C-alpha cells in the first residue's frame, strides 16, 4: 500500500504530459491495439517513440500532444511522450536527467557545413542535458532512451559520429517537477540570439544524416529507387547548403555524395547517379561565378537526374516487354522496380501470362511476396514457389526468366538479390533464356567480380548464364557491356578526386 502511494505521482497527467487529451488517448489506444500485458504495451510505446517520432532540435517545452501531431521532437518531447503513454495505461513512468558529453563530431559537421553557426557552436558547453526515462515494471525501475530513431543512428555511423551511449557511466537524476524544470530550461536555453537560424541549420544537417541512414536500412526499395532517393538527398544538401565560397560548396556536395555512395556498396546506380550529378555541378562551377546561380543549377541537375532515371527504367521495361508474348510462362525472383514496370506494361497490352515468383527468402523477409503483391495490384496473379523448389519448377518446362539487377560489373557479372544464382543455374539446365532488365546506370566500370564484397542476401551470377541485358537502349549482350562502361568512367572518377 505504501509503495502504491509513492508511485501515484508517476501516473498523473501534467501540462506537458497531457495524456488526458482525447486525441492523445485515441492515439495510445491505436498503438497498443490487441496487446493485453503491461510488458507488451511498454514495448509498443518504446518502439513507437523511437521509430516513428523523428528527433529534431527545437524548443524544450513541447507538449505530448504537439509531439504526436508533428511526428518529431527533442529528447524532452520524445521522452515525455513515452512517459505519458505509460501513465495513461497505469504503468508508472518518470523523466530523468542525464549529463552527457557533447557530440563533438556532429557539431564539427554543422560548423563546417554552415560556417555562420560556428561562433554559436563554439560557445556550447562541453556537456549537455539529455532527458531519458524510467519505467516501473515487475517491481523495479528500468532506464530507457528513445531519442534517436534507427535511420538517424545509421546515418551517424556513415558520417563517423559515435552512437553508443553508456548511461550507466553518467550522472542521472530524477526530474521531480517536470513542468517547472522544462519551463526553466526553456527560459535559460543556451542559444537565444539567432536561435531560429541555428535550429534550421542544425536540423538540416540532421535531416541529411537521417536520409543517408534511410538508404542503409531500406530493404524494400530496388537499386534504382534508392539511387533516386540519394539524388533527392543531394538536392536537399544543395538547397540547404550555407557555404559562401563556390569551392567550399562543391567540396561540401562531394562529401555528402561520397557518404551516399557508402550506404549500399553493391547498388551501383547510387554511385553512378550521384557521380554524374556531381560531375555536371563541378564542371559548371568552373565557369559560374555566382554561388546562388550554381546552387540553382545543382538543384536543377538533381531534378533532371531523378527524371531521367525514372524514364530509363520505363524505357528498359518497354524493350523487355517486346520479348514477352501471350501464353508465356515468366519466372522471376527478388524485388525490382524495373520488373514491376515491365509487368505493368505487359498487363497494359492485355497479354495473358503465367508468372512464377521465387519466395526469395532472406532473414525474416520474403522479397518474392513483395513482387507478388505488386503484380496483384496490376491484376496479375503470381504463384509463389519455395526457393529450394526453383529447379523442380523449371525442369524440362517452357518459359522465360526475367530478373532485375543491383549491379552489372565490368566483367559482365550480375549482382542481384538471392536466389538469382539458383534461378540462373536452373534456367541453364532447362535451356531457358535468362534476361536481366536494368538501366545502364547499373553498369559498374570500376569493379570486377573477383574484387566485390557482396552484402548479405545478394548473389553473383557469371556472364555465361546471362542470355542478354535489356536496357533503356535495347538488348545488350554480356560481351558488349564494356562499351557502355567507358561512358560511366568519367563520372565515377569525380568521386576519387
Is 268 within a domain?
yes
136 in the same domain as 15 = yes
> 133: domain CATH number?
3.10.620.30
Last residue of a domain, one of 314, 340, 372: 314
> 263: domain CATH number?
1.20.120.420
Supply the pLDDT for residue 1.
45
193 in the same domain as 208 = no
428 in the same domain as 309 = no
Supply the pLDDT for residue 278.
97
Name the pairing type of β-strands 54-55 and 72-73. Answer: parallel
Is 29 within a domain?
yes
254 in the same domain as 144 = no
N-to-C CA span, the chain? 70
262 in the same domain as 406 = no
Per-position pLDDT tens, the chain of length 497: 445 677 999 999 999 999 999 999 999 999 999 999 999 999 999 999 999 999 999 988 899 999 999 999 999 999 999 999 999 999 999 999 999 888 899 999 999 999 999 999 998 888 888 999 999 999 999 999 999 999 999 999 999 998 888 787 888 999 989 999 999 888 876 666 778 899 999 999 999 999 999 999 998 888 899 999 999 999 999 999 999 999 999 999 999 999 999 999 888 999 999 999 999 999 999 999 999 999 999 999 999 999 999 999 999 999 999 999 999 999 999 989 899 999 999 999 999 999 999 999 988 889 999 999 999 999 999 999 999 989 888 876 788 999 999 999 999 999 999 999 999 999 999 999 999 999 999 999 888 999 998 988 999 999 999 999 999 999 988 777 877 787 778 888 888 76
Supply the pLDDT for residue 114.
95
Is 491 within a domain?
no
244 in the same domain as 119 = no
Supply the pLDDT for residue 222.
85
Last residue of a domain, one of 266, 292, 314: 314
Is 490 within a domain?
no
Last residue of a domain, one of 285, 314, 343: 314
CA angle 275, 306, 438 (to 5 degrees): 80
The cell for 285 is 562551377
Q: Nearest CA to 32 among 80, 86, 101, 72?
A: 86
Is 496 within a domain?
no
> 395: domain CATH number?
3.40.50.10470
Identify the domain containing residue 464 by its residue range: 316-485
240 in the same domain as 188 = no
50 in the same domain as 174 = yes
440 in the same domain as 379 = yes
Is 494 within a domain?
no
Is 492 within a domain?
no
Is 290 within a domain?
yes
Supply the pLDDT for residue 2.
43
105 in the same domain as 177 = yes
Supply the pLDDT for residue 3.
57
Q: List the 407-408 sheet strands across, edge first.
A: 407-408, 414-417, 458-461
396 in the same domain as 451 = yes
74 in the same domain as 48 = yes
Number of domains in the chain: 3
Amino acid at each position: 500500500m505504501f509503495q502504491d502511494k509513492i508511485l501515484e505521482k508517476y501516473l498523473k497527467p501534467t501540462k506537458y504530459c497531457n495524456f488526458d487529451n482525447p486525441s492523445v488517448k485515441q492515439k495510445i489506444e491505436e498503438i497498443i491495439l490487441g496487446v493485453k500485458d503491461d510488458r507488451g504495451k511498454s514495448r509498443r510505446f518504446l518502439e513507437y517513440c523511437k521509430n516513428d517520432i523523428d528527433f529534431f532540435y527545437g524548443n524544450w517545452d513541447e507538449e505530448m500532444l504537439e509531439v504526436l501531431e508533428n511526428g518529431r521532437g527533442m529528447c524532452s518531447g520524445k521522452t515525455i511522450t513515452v512517459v505519458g503513454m505509460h501513465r495513461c495505461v497505469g504503468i508508472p513512468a518518470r523523466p530523468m536527467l542525464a549529463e552527457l558529453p557533447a557530440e563533438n563530431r556532429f557539431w564539427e559537421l554543422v560548423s563546417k557545413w554552415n560556417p555562420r553557426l560556428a561562433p554559436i557552436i563554439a560557445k556550447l558547453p562541453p556537456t549537455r542535458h539529455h532527458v531519458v526515462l524510467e519505467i516501473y515494471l515487475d517491481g523495479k525501475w528500468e532506464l530507457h532512451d528513445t531519442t534517436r530513431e534507427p535511420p538517424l543512428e545509421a546515418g551517424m555511423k556513415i558520417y563517423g559520429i559515435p552512437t553508443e551511449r553508456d548511461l550507466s557511466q553518467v550522472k542521472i537524476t530524477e526530474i521531480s517537477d517536470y513542468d517547472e524544470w522544462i519551463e526553466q530550461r526553456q527560459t535559460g536555453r543556451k542559444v537565444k540570439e539567432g536561435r531560429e537560424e541555428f535550429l534550421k541549420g542544425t536540423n538540416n544537417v540532421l535531416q541529411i544524416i537521417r536520409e543517408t541512414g534511410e538508404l542503409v536500412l531500406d530493404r524494400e526499395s530496388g537499386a534504382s529507387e534508392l539511387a533516386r532517393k540519394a539524388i533527392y538527398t543531394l538536392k536537399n544538401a544543395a538547397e540547404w547548403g550555407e557555404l559562401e565560397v563556390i569551392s567550399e560548396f562543391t567540396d561540401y556536395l562531394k562529401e555528402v555524395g561520397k557518404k551516399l555512395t557508402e550506404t549500399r556498396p553493391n547498388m551501383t546506380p547510387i554511385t553512378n547517379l550521384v557521380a554524374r550529378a556531381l560531375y555536371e555541378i563541378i564542371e559548371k562551377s568552373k565557369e559560374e561565378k555566382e554561388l546562388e546561380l550554381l546552387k540553382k543549377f545543382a538543384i536543377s541537375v538533381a531534378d533532371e537526374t531523378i527524371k531521367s532515371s525514372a524514364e530509363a527504367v520505363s524505357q528498359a521495361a518497354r524493350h523487355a516487354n517486346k520479348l514477352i508474348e501471350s501464353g508465356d510462362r515468366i519466372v522471376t525472383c527478388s524485388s525490382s522496380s524495373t520488373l514491376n514496370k515491365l509487368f505493368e506494361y505487359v498487363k497494359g497490352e492485355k497479354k495473358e501470362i503465367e508468372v512464377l515468383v521465387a519466395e526469395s527468402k532472406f532473414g525474416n523477409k520474403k522479397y518474392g511476396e513483395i513482387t507478388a503483391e505488386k503484380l496483384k495490384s496490376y491484376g496479375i496473379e503470381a504463384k509463389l514457389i519455395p526457393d529450394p523448389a526453383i529447379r523442380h519448377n523449371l525442369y524440362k518446362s517452357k518459359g522465360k526468366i526475367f530478373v532485375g539487377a543491383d549491379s552489372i560489373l565490368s566483367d559482365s557479372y550480375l549482382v542481384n538479390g538471392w536466389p538469382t544464382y539458383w534461378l540462373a543455374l536452373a534456367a541453364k539446365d532447362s535451356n531457358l533464356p535468362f534476361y536481366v532488365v536494368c538501366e545502364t546506370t547499373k553498369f559498374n566500370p570500376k569493379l570486377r567480380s573477383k574484387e566485390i564484397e557482396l552484402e548479405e542476401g545478394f548473389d553473383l551470377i557469371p556472364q555465361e548464364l546471362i542470355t542478354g541485358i535489356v536496357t533503356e537502349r535495347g538488348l545488350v549482350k554480356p560481351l558488349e557491356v564494356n562499351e557502355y562502361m567507358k561512358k560511366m568512367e568519367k563520372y565515377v572518377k569525380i568521386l576519387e578526386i
